[in-house]
Amino acid sequence: MENYKNQIDQELFERIEAYLLQRMSAEDRAGFEEEMKHDEKLRNEVRLQQRLIAAAETLSHEDGSWIKKSLAPVKSMGNKKVMLWYAAAAIVLVLAGAWFYRTRSLSAESVYARYFVPDSGLPVVMSGNDNNYDFYDGMISYKEEDYHRAIEIWAEVYKKNDVNDTLQYYMGLAFLNDRNPEAVSYLQRVAQNQESVWQDRAIWYLTLACLKFDRISEAKKWVDKITDKQQAELLKKDIEKLPY
């Protein structure tokens, strides 16, 4: 296993992870598959990682049923129902087991990368009379992964004082996806708002944001507030391994 660690870098691991979890765009996926056709070493790495995932899944079934998460609906703007991202997060947690066996040295950034699954955003329903036109305009950019543009649009909404917890939550996520530490302040406002339907998700992403930006002591505080205790325990164990 140590030889495997030395032979594959983190960037390649993350590309393979994105491919296996179907998190690549159609264009990137086609390019990756074309690359595999001409690169035997890459094909072998993909097969090896598939086996690691399968082994981690076997361990998870033996250890408990935490991987079996149902999708729980919550209410959002306009009483629309949004499916929580727990199922996708659980898949990444399986991959966490594979990563652990690949490398013994942890960093806050690597723990963040292990657990982070992007929120896919809200369904976009727009009309000429929609009072939330600007918000959904930004959501289109968010869903297209143009996070910088989404932030620009939503910042204008903010200037109009048309602020609510949904806007704060998705601005926080846009900043996080854009690798901007401003994410922490936006997510913290929602995480502290007990009336917000986004509070639980904001706490999860706030914990990860603190790791992303090397604010480990804050991550330790917020991880204890995560409502999904099984995920929280796994994340907490990794945070406790981090050097201070």
CB atoms within 10 A of CB 211: 29
pLDDT > 50? residue 82: no
Residue 89, pLDDT score: 55
Averaged pLDDT score across all residues of the chain: 78
| Higher per-residue pLDDT: 34 or 169 | 169
Tokens of 182: 């401003």
Q: What is the mean pLDDT of residues 124-150?
A: 81
| HSE (side-chain half, CA atoms, 13 Å) at 61 | 5
Q: What is the pTM of this model?
A: 0.59
Are 117 and 85 within 8 A, CB to CB? Answer: yes
Q: Tell me the CA distances in angstroms from 127 to 69, 76, 136, 230, one per residue in order.
A: 35, 18, 10, 41
Encode pLDDT of 165-199 as tens digits.
999 999 999 999 999 999 999 999 999 999 999 99
Q: How far apart are the first and last CA of the chain?
A: 27
Determine the Cα–Cα distance for residues 242 and 244; give it in Å rounded to an integer: 6
The CATH architecture that domain 105-240 belongs to is: Alpha Horseshoe (1.25)
pLDDT > 60? residue 156: yes
pLDDT > 70? residue 39: yes
Q: What is the DSSP-derived secondary structure letter of residue 116?
A: -
